[in-house]
């Protein structure tokens, strides 16, 4: 009984060590890819920004992209508001109305 438990513990420790090494490799790769001198320039005249997207939303999206890219070079091409598609709402209302019996 103790022998089987020792084998399971050994395998779990081996897997933990392997995942630690893989994580270490990714961290080293990310450190090598990060450029600290990448300029970040956002100019509304160069980007294709729709008129109905608020500047605050553009700033939040730009900050999120900057954090996600971790210093790598990027360019935001366009920011557009999502289309207000009500087809799912209409289909749901239709199902509800079909379920009611009219007398």
pLDDT one-digit tens code per residue, 77-94: 888 777 677 788 888 888
> Residue 35's pLDDT is what?
59
Question: Considering its fold, how many domains does the chain have in total?
Answer: 1
How far is Cα 27 from Cα 19, in angstroms, rounded to an integer? 12
Residue 6 pLDDT greater than 50, yes or no: yes
- Domain that residue 41 falls in: 2-99
d(CA 54, CA 27): 36
Q: Measured between alpha carbons, how far is 17 from 10 in angstroms, rounded to an integer?
A: 11
Both tokens assigned to 44: 């509304």
Are 79 and 50 a contacting pair, CB within 8 Å? yes
């Amino acid at each position: 009984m103790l022998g089987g438990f020792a084998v399971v513990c050994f395998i779990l420790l081996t897997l933990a060590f392997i995942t630690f090494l893989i994580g270490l490799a990714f961290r080293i790769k990310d450190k090598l890819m990060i450029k600290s001198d990448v300029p970040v320039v956002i100019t509304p005249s160069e980007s294709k920004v729709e008129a109905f997207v608020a500047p605050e939303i553009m700033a939040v999206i730009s900050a999120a992209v900057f954090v996600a890219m971790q210093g790598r070079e990027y360019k935001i091409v366009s920011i557009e508001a999502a289309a207000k598609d009500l087809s799912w709402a209409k289909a749901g209302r239709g199902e509800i109305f079909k379920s009611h019996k009219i007398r």
